[in-house]
């Protein structure tokens, strides 16, 4: 990995191909010489020129990663841990710079990038770095006949593909365990948000990560991404993104027998019972609805409220939603920034229109915000509450992935469980009740990978993270990521 050129007003993001055993690795221009514009969501200007990489760039990255694997897979856990911890320290020292770049590239409030995205990226490196120092492999003894143990070994070159909503956080959620496992990797970040991953290469270099251990190929999903999934030397694919893309990747991996981890879309339920702590529930529901412009896979976009408190909840929720400040991401008072792209904004606004066609009511929002910057640039809309829809309506079934929620009353536990489990998705749910038995009963019946009770978005990396149904396949976290990035060998010694 070479030192990136100093970013000018428009960042030139280069394909980064690390070369093993060379003293001077460098950022390499895409083989076809092409670049495309990546917009700044806050004003529609060009933020970065992103390499339009193709199969030739993936081939070169795979060659570098395969060569590096020979050495990296033989390093000790302590050696890998030391480098990962150095990466975390170096990143932490540059939080302000990375947060500013993330906010500019993605449209999220700068405060959020600074308080959540970049610190969590640092935490990813530290968490996996320290875990490998303590992990134990299984050993058994068969009554004096055989002494058995399990050896974990890295699978090889890992293909990592990440989305645009939490760019650095989700890229490092894959990079950290892949490197810690002894795999080498090729990351393809989202074409909408390449900048902070590109900046991270500089840190890898400074931390002394050997060349070729991490390679980045920037570009479009169906081109660079597909070439990565199809490459014969890439042994596994860790993908986070939409379920439709997950399906394409699943099909492409199947005949190649690649290991896969798919973290996909969601349509998560917030289930609010009348006995919940109302104020805490309201404050948390505001966050779970609209944080990061609702562009978090774990946002609760279907809010089911027990009928006896439905009117009270809706009135309070509306009032708070109307107070939210939609503004420029760099403004400290901003609570809701810009959506990722014009196309995405159009898609989300299309659901508001659809809701009205489906007989729904726009209780709050539903309109564009056009006065944030001078001129017409920027992809802003008011946080939106929809009511009057059934749980089977398209707005309550399909992932909107923006600041739009549907609020629906329910009468019984059985009914709300049916509502909650009725979508194709199964990522997470947030359940609000002070009745412990009910919390356990309902949690046990939700078809999701994560249930939060009286809270939301608490992340413990010791727990399995992933989705059920169309929300994904596999689990990541500790030790699950190591089960994925490593294979296991059982060794049995006769006594
Ligand atoms: P996306 O599926 O459009 O793209 C994700 C990544 O896949 C990008 O890097 C893209 O370039 C690449 N890609 C696209 N087509 C490809 C192909 N044919 N082959 C290989 N790679 C390809 O998703 P997005 O719009 O970037 O992200 C939003 C989606 O991600 C939402 O559905 C959201 O719920 C989901 N998401 C899930 C989680 C989770 O942990 N489950 C976390 C964040 C986001």
Atom 39, ligand 1: which residue's CA is nearest?
Answer: 263
418 CB-near residues (< 8 Å, 6+ apart): 391
Instruction: Give the Cα separation of 412 and 400 in Å (integer).
Output: 27
Atom 13, ligand 1: which residue's CA is nearest?
Answer: 221
Q: How far is the CA of 495 from the centre of ligand 1 (A)?
A: 51
pLDDT value, residue 15: 61
Do residues 294 and 328 lie in contact, with contact meaning Cβ atoms separated by under 8 Å?
no
Helix axis angle for 195-207 and 77-92, nearest 10°, is 130
Q: How far is the CA of 170 from the centre of ligand 1 (A)?
A: 11
pLDDT value, residue 57: 92
pLDDT value, residue 17: 54
Catalytic pick among 263, 306, 399, 476 = 263
Mean pLDDT of residues grouped by 10 in the chain (495 residues)? Answer: 40 54 59 91 93 92 94 97 98 98 97 98 98 93 95 97 98 98 96 94 91 92 97 98 98 96 98 98 98 98 98 98 97 98 98 97 97 85 98 98 98 98 98 98 98 97 98 97 97 97
Do residues 290 and 322 lie in contact, with contact meaning Cβ atoms separated by under 8 Å?
no
Atom 18, ligand 1: which residue's CA is nearest?
Answer: 222
pLDDT value, residue 292: 98
Taking alpha carbons only, the member of 398, 379, 332, 420 closest to residue 113 is: 332
Atom 35, ligand 1: which residue's CA is nearest?
Answer: 241
CA distances from 398 to 28, 241, 469 (A): 40, 15, 14
358 is catalytic: no
Q: How many CA atoms lie within 13 A of 378 on its CB side?
A: 25
CA distances from 295 to 108, 179, 306, 344, 345 (A): 9, 28, 26, 10, 11
Is any atom of ligand 1 closer than 6 Å to the C-beta of 246?
no
Q: How far is the CA of 353 from the centre of ligand 1 (A)?
A: 25
> pTM higher than 0.90, yes or no?
yes
ipTM score over 0.95, yes or no: yes
Q: Can the peptide bond before residue 479 be classed as cis, meaning omega within 30 degrees of 0?
A: yes
Supply the DSSP symbol for 476: B
Q: Which atom of ligand 1 is nearest to the CA of 226?
A: 19
Instruction: Give the Cα separation of 405 and 318 in Å (integer).
Output: 11
Which of 242, 250, 476 best tests ligand 1's pocket when mutated (most atoms within 8 Å of CB)? 242
Q: How far is the CA of 265 from the centre of ligand 1 (A)?
A: 8
pLDDT value, residue 378: 95
Do residues 4 and 194 lie in contact, with contact meaning Cβ atoms separated by under 8 Å?
no
């Amino acid at each position: 990995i070479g030192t990136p050129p100093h970013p000018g007003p428009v960042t030139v993001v280069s394909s980064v191909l690390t070369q093993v055993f060379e003293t001077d690795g460098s950022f390499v221009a895409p083989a076809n010489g092409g670049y495309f514009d990546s917009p700044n969501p806050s004003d529609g200007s060009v933020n970065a020129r992103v390499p339009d990489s193709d199969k030739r760039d993936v081939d070169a990255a795979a060659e570098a990663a395969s060569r590096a694997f020979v050495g990296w897979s033989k390093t000790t856990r302590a050696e890998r841990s030391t480098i990962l911890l150095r990466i975390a320290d170096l990143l932490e020292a540059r939080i302000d710079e990375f947060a500013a770049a993330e906010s500019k590239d993605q449209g999220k409030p700068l405060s959020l990038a600074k308080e959540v995205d970049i610190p969590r990226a640092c935490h990813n490196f530290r968490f996996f770095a320290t875990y490998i120092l303590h992990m134990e492999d299984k050993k058994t003894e068969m009554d004096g006949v055989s002494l058995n143990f399990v050896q974990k070994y890295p699978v090889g070159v890992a293909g990592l593909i990440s989305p645009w909503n939490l760019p650095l956080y989700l890229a490092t959620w894959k990079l950290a365990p892949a490197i810690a496992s002894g795999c080498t990797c090729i990351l393809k970040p989202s074409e909408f948000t390449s900048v902070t991953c590109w900046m991270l290469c500089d840190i890898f270099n400074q931390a002394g990560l050997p060349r070729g251990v991490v390679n980045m190929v920037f570009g479009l999903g169906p081109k660079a991404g597909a070439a990565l999934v199809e490459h014969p030397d890439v042994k596994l694919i860790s993908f986070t993104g939409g379920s439709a893309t997950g399906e394409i990747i699943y099909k492409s991996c199947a005949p190649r027998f690649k290991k896969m981890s798919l973290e996909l879309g969601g349509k998560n339920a917030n289930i609010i019972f009348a006995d919940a702590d109302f104020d805490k529930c309201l404050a948390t529901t505001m966050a779970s609805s609209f944080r990061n412009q609702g562009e978090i896979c774990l946002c609760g976009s279907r809010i089911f409220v027990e009928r006896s408190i439905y009117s009270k909840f809706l009135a309070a929720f509306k009032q708070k939603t109307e107070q939210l400040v939609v503004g420029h991401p760099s403004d400290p008072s901003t609570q809701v920034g810009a959506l990722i792209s014009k196309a995405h904004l159009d898609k989300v606004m299309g659901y508001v229109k659809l809701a009205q066609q489906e007989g729904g009511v726009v209780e709050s929002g539903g309109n564009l915000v056009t006065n944030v910057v001078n001129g017409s640039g920027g992809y802003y809309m008011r946080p939106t509450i929809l009511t009057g829809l059934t749980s089977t309506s398209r707005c309550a079934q399909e992932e909107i992935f923006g600041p739009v929620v549907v609020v629906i009353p329910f009468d019984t536990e059985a009914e709300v469980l049916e509502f909650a489990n009725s979508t194709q998705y199964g990522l997470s749910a947030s359940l609000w009740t002070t009745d412990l038995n009910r919390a356990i009963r309902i949690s046990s019946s939700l078809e999701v990978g994560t249930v939060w009770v009286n809270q939301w978005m608490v992340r413990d990396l010791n727990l399995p993270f992933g989705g059920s149904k169309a929300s994904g396949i596999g689990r990541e976290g500790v030790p699950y990521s190591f089960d994925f990035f490593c294979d296991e060998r059982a060794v049995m010694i006769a006594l």
